[in-house]
Amino acid sequence: MLYFTLILCFFFSMFLTPLVKNLAIALGAIDRPNERKVHERLIPRMGGAAIFASFIAGILILRPESPYLLPFMLGAAIIFFVGIMDDLKELSPKAKLAGQLAAALVIVFFGDLKIEYINMPFGGQWNLGLFSIPLTVFWIIGVTNSINLIDGLDGLASGVSSIAFIVMAVMAFMMGDAYVYAVSLLLLVCTLGFLVHNFHPASIFLGDTGSLFLGFMISILSLMGFKNLTFISLIVPILILGVPISDTLFAIIRRITNREPISSADKFHLHHRLLHYGFSHRQSVLMIYLFACIFGIMGIMVSRSDFHGLNVFLLITILLIEFFAEKIEWAGKRFKPIIKTMDLLFPSLKNKS
């Protein structure tokens, strides 16, 4: 039944997307080119409606049993409504944040889904207490917006989300979590059906309808699959979402160092930097897909390993990401702690360059 439903939802999403495209045009949900966007023509957005509708159809067919299902769907409906309103009327950042906060609180209080404690790697347990609620809300809102932030090239956010769903389905299968496994695969096929129309050259964009919905789904599934297990459980979803989380983190650093509002837009996201260094639109997207796959494989490897050497592995990974970010000015032109340190320690290398 599961695999038949997956096939059905893939084709439903693929055939529904052109209808959503026509609806978006009729409603005026059009993405117009400007100085910070890559596309040069009018393209309808709100494509996430096809993913959402296909997903709901799959849930109604499968009827998966879980105490989280009702709050899960209620939170998703709130996020979907926020995305639709933003695609139609362009909500203010505060209004969007309020909607995301409402959806997150539904999950925390109505769904009783919280990160309550973390088992530390060398023994002992960190009970979060009152911090469990703000940490869980911060995770949901942070991941939701991280997918929204990387939605800058054709097929980028939908492709990276698809990779995350694949990795989470693999993890859920290994952990024997049938619910997360089924929902991850369902979201995967609905997103892939849309990606047929969204890959470069795209005929329709996700819009906030899609990027917020996908980010929200990823944040909730990661909580369901990895909460209250071990210290690794905190690391694994971060690795799986390495690309969007890194892009969000470096965007925050850029805006702080440039003394700009956190919500301001710029052209220093990862996809912008790759385009700046001469990669084509499609090459940039495929390269970020590769990065997402590498992060996902690392997440699976970390989850299956013991703690021997894990701290060293993670430290080296963080340093390599930071060095790469500084070389391409991903964190902006000012924030280069590793390169500046190397210049002080090895001035001869600076002179040669």
- Would you list which residues are annotated within the binding site for Mg(2+)? 148, 208
How far apart (Å, rounded) are the C-alpha atoms in residues 61 and 8?
10
User: Which residue type does 174 have?
Assistant: M
How far apart (Å, rounded) are the C-alpha atoms in residues 330 and 310?
26
How far apart (Å, rounded) are the C-alpha atoms in residues 66 and 64?
6
Cα→Cα distances 219→53, 83, 136, 144, 213, Å: 19, 16, 10, 7, 10
- For 189, residues 6+ apart whose C-beta sits below 8 A from its C-beta are 6, 7, 9, 10, 13, 54, 58
- Other beta carbons less than 10 A from residue 42's beta carbon: 10
DSSP secondary structure string, 203-262? SS--HHHHHHHHHHHHHHHHHHHHTTS-HHHHHHHHHHTHHHHHHHHHHHHHHHHTT--T
Annotated binding site: 148, 208
How far apart (Å, rounded) are the C-alpha atoms in residues 228 and 203?
42
Q: Write the burial class of residue 312 (CB in 10 Å: 0-12 exposed, 13-18 middle, 19+ buried).
A: exposed
Question: Backbone phi, then psi, for 278, in 5-degree steps?
Answer: 100, 0
- For 326, residues 6+ apart whose C-beta sits below 8 A from its C-beta are 335, 336, 337, 338, 339
Q: Write the burial class of residue 101 (CB in 10 Å: 0-12 exposed, 13-18 middle, 19+ buried).
A: middle
